[in-house]
Protein backbone atom coordinates (compact mmCIF):
# COMPACT_ATOMS: atom_id res chain seq x y z
CA UNK A 1 0.00 0.00 0.00
CA UNK A 2 2.82 2.40 0.87
CA UNK A 3 4.43 1.81 -2.56
CA UNK A 4 1.17 2.68 -4.36
CA UNK A 5 0.75 5.81 -2.27
CA UNK A 6 4.35 6.85 -2.91
CA UNK A 7 3.92 6.20 -6.66
CA UNK A 8 0.73 8.27 -6.70
CA UNK A 9 2.35 11.20 -4.85
CA UNK A 10 5.43 11.20 -7.09
CA UNK A 11 3.27 10.99 -10.22
CA UNK A 12 1.10 13.87 -9.03
CA UNK A 13 4.17 16.00 -8.26
CA UNK A 14 5.69 15.31 -11.69
CA UNK A 15 2.40 16.22 -13.38
CA UNK A 16 2.06 19.40 -11.31
CA UNK A 17 5.58 20.64 -12.00
CA UNK A 18 5.47 19.82 -15.71
CA UNK A 19 2.08 21.49 -16.19
CA UNK A 20 3.05 24.67 -14.33
CA UNK A 21 6.26 25.32 -16.20
CA UNK A 22 8.69 24.57 -13.38
CA UNK A 23 10.48 22.04 -15.54
CA UNK A 24 12.72 22.82 -18.50
CA UNK A 25 10.90 24.98 -21.01
CA UNK A 26 11.46 22.51 -23.87
CA UNK A 27 13.02 25.15 -26.07
CA UNK A 28 16.00 24.44 -28.21
CA UNK A 29 19.12 26.38 -29.12
CA UNK A 30 17.71 26.64 -32.64
CA UNK A 31 14.58 28.35 -31.26
CA UNK A 32 16.78 30.93 -29.57
CA UNK A 33 18.75 31.47 -32.78
CA UNK A 34 15.52 31.81 -34.79
CA UNK A 35 14.11 34.33 -32.32
CA UNK A 36 17.32 36.38 -32.26
CA UNK A 37 17.29 36.50 -36.06
CA UNK A 38 13.56 37.30 -36.06
CA UNK A 39 14.02 40.35 -33.82
CA UNK A 40 17.46 41.65 -34.84
CA UNK A 41 17.40 40.95 -38.60
CA UNK A 42 13.99 40.09 -40.08
CA UNK A 43 11.76 42.57 -38.24
CA UNK A 44 13.99 45.60 -38.97
CA UNK A 45 14.46 44.34 -42.53
CA UNK A 46 10.71 44.28 -43.13
CA UNK A 47 10.43 47.94 -42.09
CA UNK A 48 13.60 49.14 -43.81
CA UNK A 49 12.67 47.54 -47.16
CA UNK A 50 8.92 48.22 -46.81
CA UNK A 51 8.47 44.47 -47.22
CA UNK A 52 4.81 44.03 -46.34
CA UNK A 53 4.89 40.33 -47.29
CA UNK A 54 7.65 39.68 -44.75
CA UNK A 55 5.88 41.72 -42.09
CA UNK A 56 2.68 39.79 -42.80
CA UNK A 57 4.56 36.54 -42.10
CA UNK A 58 6.20 37.89 -38.95
CA UNK A 59 3.00 39.17 -37.31
CA UNK A 60 0.23 36.88 -36.15
CA UNK A 61 -3.30 37.91 -37.20
CA UNK A 62 -3.98 38.75 -33.53
CA UNK A 63 -0.97 41.13 -33.33
CA UNK A 64 -1.43 44.26 -31.21
CA UNK A 65 1.10 47.02 -30.57
CA UNK A 66 1.06 49.82 -28.02
CA UNK A 67 3.36 52.74 -28.83
CA UNK A 68 5.05 55.21 -26.50
CA UNK A 69 2.00 57.47 -26.42
CA UNK A 70 -0.32 54.59 -25.54
CA UNK A 71 -1.84 54.31 -29.03
CA UNK A 72 -2.91 50.83 -30.07
CA UNK A 73 -2.24 49.37 -33.50
CA UNK A 74 -2.87 45.98 -35.08
CA UNK A 75 -1.43 43.91 -37.91
CA UNK A 76 -3.57 45.53 -40.59
CA UNK A 77 -2.65 49.06 -39.45
CA UNK A 78 1.06 48.18 -39.27
CA UNK A 79 1.05 46.82 -42.83
CA UNK A 80 -0.87 49.89 -44.07
CA UNK A 81 1.61 52.18 -42.31
CA UNK A 82 4.54 50.32 -43.82
CA UNK A 83 3.12 50.61 -47.34
CA UNK A 84 2.87 54.40 -46.96
CA UNK A 85 6.05 55.15 -44.98
CA UNK A 86 9.71 54.52 -45.62
CA UNK A 87 11.71 53.77 -42.48
CA UNK A 88 15.32 54.85 -42.70
CA UNK A 89 16.89 55.20 -39.28
CA UNK A 90 20.42 55.13 -40.70
CA UNK A 91 22.44 52.61 -38.79
CA UNK A 92 20.22 50.55 -36.53
CA UNK A 93 20.78 47.83 -33.97
CA UNK A 94 18.33 46.03 -31.75
CA UNK A 95 20.04 44.90 -28.54
CA UNK A 96 18.25 41.98 -26.93
CA UNK A 97 18.34 42.23 -23.14
CA UNK A 98 15.86 39.46 -22.39
CA UNK A 99 14.90 36.38 -24.37
CA UNK A 100 12.84 33.79 -22.53
CA UNK A 101 11.13 30.82 -24.15
CA UNK A 102 8.25 29.10 -22.37
CA UNK A 103 7.25 25.51 -23.14
CA UNK A 104 8.80 25.86 -26.61
CA UNK A 105 5.77 27.76 -27.86
CA UNK A 106 5.81 31.24 -26.35
CA UNK A 107 8.64 33.74 -26.04
CA UNK A 108 9.29 37.17 -24.60
CA UNK A 109 11.94 39.38 -26.13
CA UNK A 110 12.81 42.82 -24.85
CA UNK A 111 15.63 45.20 -25.40
CA UNK A 112 16.75 48.50 -26.84
CA UNK A 113 16.53 49.75 -30.39
CA UNK A 114 19.42 52.09 -31.17
CA UNK A 115 19.33 54.23 -34.32
CA UNK A 116 21.64 57.09 -35.31
CA UNK A 117 19.39 59.79 -33.87
CA UNK A 118 17.17 58.02 -31.33
CA UNK A 119 16.75 55.01 -29.08
CA UNK A 120 13.76 53.23 -27.52
CA UNK A 121 12.82 50.25 -25.41
CA UNK A 122 10.48 47.52 -26.59
CA UNK A 123 9.04 44.26 -25.41
CA UNK A 124 7.53 41.59 -27.62
CA UNK A 125 5.50 38.43 -27.11
CA UNK A 126 5.80 35.73 -29.75
CA UNK A 127 4.07 32.40 -30.21
CA UNK A 128 5.07 29.35 -32.21
CA UNK A 129 2.32 27.94 -34.40
CA UNK A 130 2.87 25.17 -36.93
CA UNK A 131 6.61 25.46 -36.32
CA UNK A 132 6.78 29.21 -37.08
CA UNK A 133 7.38 32.07 -34.66
CA UNK A 134 5.08 35.08 -34.97
CA UNK A 135 4.69 38.24 -32.89
CA UNK A 136 1.37 38.68 -31.08
CA UNK A 137 2.20 41.76 -29.01
CA UNK A 138 4.67 44.63 -28.95
CA UNK A 139 5.09 47.58 -26.63
CA UNK A 140 7.39 50.51 -27.34
CA UNK A 141 8.38 53.11 -24.75
CA UNK A 142 11.25 55.27 -23.63
CA UNK A 143 11.79 56.92 -27.00
CA UNK A 144 14.47 59.59 -26.77
CA UNK A 145 16.67 61.57 -29.10
CA UNK A 146 20.31 60.57 -28.87
CA UNK A 147 23.03 63.05 -28.02
CA UNK A 148 26.65 62.99 -29.15
CA UNK A 149 27.59 61.35 -25.82
CA UNK A 150 25.32 58.33 -26.45
**Over the chain, what is the mean pLDDT?**
86
Question: ∠ at Cα 147 (37, 120), nearest 5°?
Answer: 35
Residue 10 — pLDDT band, cuts 50, 70, 90? very low
Residue 9 has pLDDT above 60, yes or no: no
In this predicted structure, what is the pLDDT of residue 111? 98
Q: Smallest Cα–Cα separation from 60: which of 89, 27, 41, 38? A: 38
pLDDT bucket at 29, cuts 50 / 70 / 90: confident
From 137, 45, 42, select the one nearest 88 (Cα to Cα). Answer: 45
Contacts for 103 with CB less than 8 Å, ≥ 6 apart: 21, 25, 26
SS3 annotation, 68-120 = CCCCEEEHHHHHHHHHHCCCCCCCEEEEEEEEEEECCCEEEEEEEEEECCEEE
Domains with residue ranges and CATH for the chain? 26-145 (3.10.450.50)
Tell me: the pLDDT tens digits for 44-62?
999 999 999 999 999 999 9
Q: What is the structure's pLDDT at 149?
A: 67
Q: Is the pLDDT of residue 76 over 50?
A: yes
pLDDT tens digit sequence for 92-117? 999 999 999 999 999 999 999 999 99
Neighbour order of strands in the sheet with 59-66? 72-74, 59-66, 132-145, 118-129, 106-115, 92-102
Amino acid sequence: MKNYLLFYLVSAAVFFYSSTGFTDNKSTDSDEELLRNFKTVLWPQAYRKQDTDLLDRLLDDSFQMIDGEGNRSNKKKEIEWLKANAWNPGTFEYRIERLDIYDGSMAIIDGTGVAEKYSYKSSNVLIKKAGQWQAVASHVSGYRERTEQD
